[in-house]
């Protein structure tokens, strides 16, 4: 099953994104092993998370509409985040995957949200620290994710939120809620 999805996505995206998707799936499996999550679910969510990333705007808009998900206006205004919603729709209605946790992990991999499930955090962070990522400090964020998922989310959002502000972009509501949630968790731990 998992290999079928690998083959499926290879025909739907360029080589670079295909390698990224394979690396994310592998990182998700690693995180699942360490943090006690179902490795097959982690692999499936990871390999499929960007399945709608190279799709034209009109199709994406249609799929978002068909998805039935609530989408806040800020998220709706940002094309960058559309592919997560469209991917959840595609995986559910075209591929027939019914596991809500897999669908949510794919839907929220671009924006995050408060109180994410273990699988949702694994896919969010797996996407951020996959093997081919080479931004400065990637090793640091990878280590945070491998050590503790909640703290990994906090550290990731503590870094990403100022990036929104610095580049003059609006912040999706669920990303702000995710930040507040994991900041609170980090403070509680101290």
**Nearest approach, Cβ of residue 184 and Fe ion (Å):** 26
Closest to Fe ion by CB, 169 vs 189, is 169
User: Which of 99, 176, 116, 101 lies closest to 152, judged by CA?
Assistant: 116
Decide: residue 6, CB within 10 A, 0-12 exposed, 13-18 middle, 19+ buried.
middle
Are 178 and 112 a contacting pair, CB within 8 Å? yes
Closest to Fe ion by CB, 50 vs 75, is 50
**Nearest approach, Cβ of residue 54 and Fe ion (Å):** 11
Are 156 and 137 a contacting pair, CB within 8 Å? no
**Nearest approach, Cβ of residue 10 and Fe ion (Å):** 15
**Nearest approach, Cβ of residue 106 and Fe ion (Å):** 9
Closest to Fe ion by CB, 37 vs 127, is 127
Are 93 and 102 a contacting pair, CB within 8 Å? no
Are 149 and 129 a contacting pair, CB within 8 Å? no
**Nearest approach, Cβ of residue 20 and Fe ion (Å):** 6
Q: What is the contact surface with Fe ion in residues (CB under 5 A)?
A: 50, 127
Provide the terminal-to-terminal Cα distance of the chain, rounded to the nearest Å.
Answer: 43
Are 5 and 48 a contacting pair, CB within 8 Å? yes
**Nearest approach, Cβ of residue 84 and Fe ion (Å):** 6
Closest to Fe ion by CB, 6 vs 183, is 6
Closest to Fe ion by CB, 80 vs 189, is 80
User: Which of 60, 72, 144 lies closest to 108, judged by CA?
Assistant: 72
Closest to Fe ion by CB, 18 vs 72, is 18
């Amino acid at each position: 099953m998992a290999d079928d999805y690998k083959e499926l996505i290879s025909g739907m995206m360029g080589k670079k994104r295909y390698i990224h998707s394979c690396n994310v799936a592998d990182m998700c499996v690693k995180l699942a092993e360490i943090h006690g999550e179902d490795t097959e679910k982690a692999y499936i969510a990871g390999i499929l998370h960007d399945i709608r990333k190279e799709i034209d705007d009109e199709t994406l808009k249609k799929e978002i509409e068909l998805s039935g998900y609530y989408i806040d206006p800020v998220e709706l205004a940002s094309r960058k985040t559309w592919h997560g919603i469209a991917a959840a729709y595609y995986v559910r209605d075209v591929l027939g995957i019914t596991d809500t946790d897999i669908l949510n992990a794919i839907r929220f991999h671009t924006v995050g949200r408060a109180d994410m499930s273990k699988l949702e955090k694994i896919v969010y962070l797996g996407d951020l620290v996959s093997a081919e990522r080479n931004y400065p400090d990637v090793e640091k964020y990878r280590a945070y994710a491998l050590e503790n998922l909640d703290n990994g989310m906090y550290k990731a959002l503590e870094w990403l939120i100022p990036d929104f502000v610095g580049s003059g972009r609006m912040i999706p509501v669920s990303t702000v809620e995710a930040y507040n949630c994991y900041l609170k968790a980090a403070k509680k731990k101290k």
